Amino acid sequence: MAQSTTGKCRFCQAPLEQTFVDLGMSPLCQDHIKPEELNRMEPFYPLHAYVCENCFLVQLEEFVAPSAIFNDYAYFSSYSDSWLQHVKRYTEQMIGKFPINSKSLVAEMASNDGYLLQYFAEKGIPVLGIEPAANVAEHAISKRGIRTETKFFGLNTAKEMTSKYGKADLLIGNNVLAHVPDINDFVSGMKAFLAPQGLITMEFPHLLRLVERNQFDTIYHEHFSYLSFTTVEKIFQYHGLALFDVEELPTHGGSIRIYGKHIEDSSKEVSFRVTELLKREHVAGMSSISFYKDFEERVRTTKRKILEFLISAKADGKKIAGYGAPGKGNTLLNYCGIRTDFIDYTVDRNPHKQGNFLPGTLIPIYEPAMIRETKPDYVFILPWNLKEEIMETMSFIQEWGGKFVIPIPELKIYDPLWLIHRFKKAS
């Protein structure tokens, strides 16, 4: 039993002594290596997730300050079509369900390049983005005309924003709660920034799904906390906020969208979905330590299966290319020890990533056209959460008998011919 070096739960301060999964040493997943940096030393940090025995928050220790991680972030949200469709639907749903209009303030924490706020702005609703990565915030302002403050969100920023813009009627945080090292400062900031009858929505990957679907590769340094609905409810409650609804979403392999309000606000009814999900998490075993302790052995089994496939494919002389350069890919490749000995290269639609190399494994990143040029036998899909979209666009690999490999939850090979047949039937 290895105790963490800081030793304390980031939420409740209880001693942190139980391992959830130890994925060894890994570089920061967004630190893509430029060609001129190839011979430099790379920093590796422990990727060891612990679970708090008191509040069951699964967490990594903070080794690198978020300012070092997020100041020049290569991830632009807008590059995935399905994600844009998802947030557009969200915008319509919120405007339909809640009194959000030209007199409201819609604020988003970690607003990225304005990918979401653009849909509120085009309906004439005042928006405010709060985004720590300067290059991304600049893009939101100059390319989309989205009012954006370059800042990390927390209690201080909340006070500053309130005095500058007033309180937020809708406060949005998608895939950010897990990324904040000081979760108490962040949630108390939301309490301070929220209008008396305002609402908060947040989306984050659901820990129940991570465990059920073996998504160990979604663990990386930028992602400090892994959240169940039960634990998030405790954290909100502690800061004077209540959860009044929850939805389960297919995004990022299984996320939840929570709806929060002030505890004092009695204008919103509490949905049956809140008690239902709390109960389901309890029944799944999330209130007992064994649920968390059994995970590591499953992860090791998955690693062995992925390596068995790669070794036998290479022994048969097959060519394997990757698809995508997401954070999760770097965890998987570094943990399994997969380099150019197995995967020749990967491709990514994001031009900011092309021409660089994946951290740690130094697998080169090219533009997607490379797949057609080199005709690999297998395309190994790293962002498995987007597998349908990717397999559909890349289905042309069947012209030379190419197949797709999806590593998670269990390694599976897909034949595009079979997929084309299925798409035809569906349409």
Give the binding site for Zn ion (CB under 5 A).
9, 11-12, 14, 52, 54-55, 57
Choice between 11 and 309, CB closer to Zn ion: 11
Choice between 9 and 299, CB closer to Zn ion: 9
Amino acid identity of residue 224, one-letter, is F
- CB contact at 8 A, 46 and 334: no
CA distance 86 to 76: 15
- CB contact at 8 A, 287 and 53: no
Choice between 11 and 236, CB closer to Zn ion: 11
CA distance 171 to 396: 42
Choice between 87 and 227, CB closer to Zn ion: 227
Cβ 45 to Zn ion, closest distance in Å? 22
Angle at 262 between CA 164 and CA 195, to 5 degrees: 25
Angle at 226 between CA 222 and CA 229, to 5 degrees: 140
Amino acid identity of residue 422, one-letter, is R
The DSSP bridge partners found for residue 22 are 48
Cβ 222 to Zn ion, closest distance in Å? 21
Of 400, 348, 344, the residue nearest 372 (C-alpha): 400
Cβ 12 to Zn ion, closest distance in Å? 3
Choice between 211 and 386, CB closer to Zn ion: 211
What DSSP state is assigned to residue 194? Answer: E
Choice between 59 and 112, CB closer to Zn ion: 59
Kindly tell me the burial class for residue 367, based on how many C-beta atoms sit within 10 Å of its own C-beta (0-12, 13-18, 19 or more).
Answer: middle
Cβ 231 to Zn ion, closest distance in Å? 8
Per-residue exposure over 310-321, b if at least 16 CB sit within 10 Å of its own CB, e if not? beebeeeeeebb
CA distance 213 to 206: 11
Main-chain dihedrals φ then ψ at residue 334, nearest 5 degrees? -70, -40
CA 305 to chain centre: 25
Cβ 13 to Zn ion, closest distance in Å? 7
Choice between 165 and 238, CB closer to Zn ion: 238
- CB contact at 8 A, 384 and 67: no
- In a 3-state reduction of DSSP, which class is residue 123? coil
Cβ 90 to Zn ion, closest distance in Å? 30
Cβ 11 to Zn ion, closest distance in Å? 5
Cβ 264 to Zn ion, closest distance in Å? 26
Choice between 52 and 405, CB closer to Zn ion: 52
Cβ 59 to Zn ion, closest distance in Å? 8
